[in-house]
Amino acid sequence: MTTEMPRPLPVDQLRQRCDPKQLSRAGQQLHAGSSLVGQDRGLSALRLAVDIRHADFNLFVVGPEGTGRHTAVQEILKERALSRETPEDLAYVNNFDEPRKPVALRLPAGAAERLKAEMVRVVNDLANDIPELFESEEYRTQRRIIDEEFGTQQEEAMADFTNRARAEDIALLRTPMGFMVAAIRDGHVVKTEEFNKLPEEDQKVIEEKIARFQDELQDVLAKTPKLEREHRNRIEMLNGEMAKRAVSGRIDEARETLGDAGAAADFLSRVHDDMVENPELFLQAKSERPDGPFPEVSGKAHLEPLFRRYMVNVMVGHQPAAPEGAPVVVEDLPTFDRLVGRIEHVSQMGSLVTDFTLIRPGALHRANGGYLVLDARRVLSEPFAWDALKRSIKEQSITITSLAERVSLFSTTSLEPDSIPLDVRVVLVGDRFLYALLVMLDPDVQELFKVQADFEENLGRNDETLGQMALLLHRYAEKEELLPVTPDALACLLDESSRLAEDATKLSLRLGTITDILREAEHYSRANDRKEVLRQDVEQAVTERDRRASRVRDRVREAITRQTIMIDTDGKKVGQINGLSVYELGRFRFGRPSRITARVRMGTGKLIDIEREVELGGPLHSKGVMILSGYLTTTYACDMPFSLHASLVFEQSYGGIEGDSASCAELIALLSALSELELRQDVAITGSVNQLGQVQAIGGVNEKIEGFFDICAERGLTGDQAVLIPAANIDHLMLRERVTDAVEAGKFSVIPITTVDEAVALMTGVPAGARGDDGTFPENGVNARVEARLREFAAMRKSFASRAAAGDEGEQR
C-alpha cells in the first residue's frame, strides 16, 4: 500500500488575517464597563477575595506580566471600595503616665485632623491666657495673702520663743551658722570670761536654761519645713485653681467643637489634668519666648518642644466632607519601614532621642479598613518585610518596631507604641513560578492567601473576541489621547496579537506589548502628519521593534551567508541535515538553521550525543537523543543485538543546547547515515519525535521557518526550498508576509508531517516503507536499507567476536 505524501500548506493556513469589517459588529457585545477580556477565571477569584468577609481570604494574583493584572486589581478594588464605609482615623498621642508607650487613638473619619488642629489652637490660646492669668492682680493678691500668712506664722512662733526666752534672761541670736541661744545680764550677752567667773551654782542654772531653750528652738525650727510645705501646697493649689479656671473653659470649648469624637474625650480629659498639674510649662515658655512686635499674639506656641506632649500625631486621616470609601493603597516600595511604619529619631546633645510625634505610618496603616496591593517579588526582596507582613496578617494588628534595634545596629532610646487593630485585604501580585516556590517553601502562604486569581495568557480567537479586543484597544487609544485607529490598523494589531500568542487560534492577552506597538505606531503616524493610525504605521512599528533588537540575528545571518557558519541550502548529503532552533534575547526571538551530522559504524549499541558528552546539551535535549535510541532499537532488527556505534553533533555550536525540537532531524540524519541515502539540503526540518516514530509539536515554529527562509532568500529562492514542520503546529502558524508572499508565488513551501517515515521520504526522495505482514520492509525502501545495515553490523560484530575468541584459544594452547 502506498502512503500519500504530505502536501505543502496553502497560504491561508500559514497566517490568519483578521477581517476589519467584522470588528465593529462583534465588538458591540462587549459590556461597556469592562476593561479586560478573557480573564473570567481571574476576575471571579478577585471578586470573591474582595467581597468575602473572612479575614484570611487574602488574594494572590498570578500570571505573566503585561496581562493587565495590576489594572484589573486596582479597578475592581476601587469599585468595591466606594461601596464600603470610610474607616476610622488613626492617631498617636502622649501617654502622660508612661511616655515610652504612646497611646493609639481610633477616631471617627475626619476627627483626627480636627483634633490635631484643635489641640494646636488650645495650646496657642493657653500659652497666652495662663501667663496673663498669673500676672493678674487677683493672682498677685491671693499669692501675697498666702505669703503673708506663712510669714506671720513663722514670725509669731519665733516671737513667742524669743519672749519666753528673754523672760528667763536668754537671748536668740542669728549667726552665720544659724540660730543659737545665749544668757544675758543687764541687756548684754554673757561672754565666756564672765560666765567662768560666775558661781558654779549660777553656771548650772544658766546651762540648764540654755539646754532647755536650745531644745525648744529646735522644735520651733523643725516646724519651718512643714510650714514651707504647707506654703508650697497652698501656692500649688492656688496655681492649680487659677490654671483650672483657664484650662477647663478652653477644654470645654474644644469638646464642643469636636462633638462626639469617641476617644478624643478621654484624651482631652487627660490633657486637662496634665495642664492643670503643670501650669509652669506655660510660664516657662512665656519666659523663654522672645518679645516681638506683637508678643501677646505669637500663634506658634505649639511648635515649642515643651508643648509636644499635647500634640496629636495623625497616622491616617480622612475627609468626611467628601466620602472616600475604603482606601486602596498600592505600595511600590514595600520595605519593612514602609509596610509597618517607623520610629524616627533626632539628635540632641549627641544622643538620638524620639517621642510619639516622630512615629510615621506604613502602608498597612494607610490601607487599614480597605485594600493593600503589593508586588510579591518586591516584598520578598526587602529584608524583614515578608515576615512583618505575615505577622501583621496573622495577628490582625500593626506593631511598630525599630528595625535598627531589631538587628542591633545601635542602642537608642525608643518607643513601644500601642498596637493598632488591622482590618485589611492584602493582594499580592506575582508570577506563577514565584507562587509555586512560595507554596512549596512557606506553609503560611496557603493559610494567609487562600484565594488564587490566575490570569490567562491567551484568549480563543473568534469573531466575538476579535471585536472585544478591538473595542478594548479603541478605549485605550481614547484614554491615552492617541490618534484614531483605523479598522485595518486594528486588524493588523490583532494579527500581531496571535503572533505573540504563538497560536493562530488564540489572541495574546499580554496587552502591555500590544499597546506598546499601538503607541509606537501612533508616533509614526504623527511623524507623517496623518490624522489617524493606519495599517502601515502598525507594520512599521512591528518592523522597527524587530530591527532594534536584531543585531545578533543579523550577524548570525551574515556569518551563514559568508560560509563562516556552514549551512547548505542546495544539493544533497549523507548523514547531514538542517535542523532549526530558536534563540531568545530578552523578548526578541529569532530562528536559525543548524547543521546536524551523524556518523555510524559497527559497535556495541552505543549512541553518543556529543553535546551531552561535553556538557553542552541540556536534560531535555539529552532526553530527545535517548528517545532516538529507543526508536531505533525497537523498530529495526529486533531479533538481533543492537550493534551500532553512532555519534550526533550540532556542528559549529559553541554554547548550550536545550530542548528536543531537533530530535526528528537527528533521527533522520542517523537513518540517512545508516541507509547511505542522501538528504536534501534545501529542506530544513523541526519537530520532536517519540519512540513510536510520531512527530510532535514544538515551540517557536514561526521564527524557525522564517530563520531558514531568510537564509534561502539571501542566497536566492529556487522554489524547491521548504521547511518540514509537525502537523500539530499548523494552528500555530502566523508567518510574516515576506514568507507568505514567497509561498504564494511558488518560491517556498511549508510542509506538515506526522511521522518520521513521511519526513525521511521527503528528505531522501525514497519511500520509507512500512513493515509488511511477513515482518519485512519493502525492498529498497529507507527502512529496509537501515535494517539491512544494522543486520550487517550485527553479523560483523558476531564474526569479530568469533575471531577474537579463536585467537584467545590459540594463545592459550
**Which residues are the active-site residues?**
661, 704
Segment holding 200, helix H or strand E: helix 200-258
* Distance separating alpha carbons of residues 594 and 151, to the nearest angstrom: 114
SS3 666: helix
List the helix and strand counts (H, then E) for the chain. 28, 30
DSSP type of residue 657: B
DSSP per residue, 627-655: HHHHHHHHHS-TTS---EEEEEEETT--S
Residue 4's φ and ψ, nearest 5 degrees, are -70, 135
Q: Are 271 and 248 in contact (CB under 8 A)?
A: no
For residue 580, give the nearest of 659, 520, 691 by alpha carbon. Answer: 659
DSSP per residue, 460-485: E-SHHHHHHHHHHHHHHHHHTTPPPB
Non-local CB neighbours of 125 within 8 Å, separated by 6+ positions: 250
**What angle is formed at CA 104 by the lines to CA 99 and CA 420, rounded to 5 degrees?**
125
Q: Are 66 and 50 in contact (CB under 8 A)?
A: no
Residue 129's φ and ψ, nearest 5 degrees, are -65, -45
* Distance separating alpha carbons of residues 235 and 247, to the nearest angstrom: 18
DSSP per residue, 101-127: SPEEEEE-TTHHHHHHHHHHHHHHHHH
For residue 293, count other CB atoms closer than 10 A to its CB.
5
Start-to-end CA span in the chain (Å): 58
Cell of residue 573, nine digits: 548529503
Cell of residue 528, nine digits: 507623517
**Residues paired with residue 346 on neighbouring β-strands, in sequence order:** 353
Cell of residue 619, nine digits: 536534560
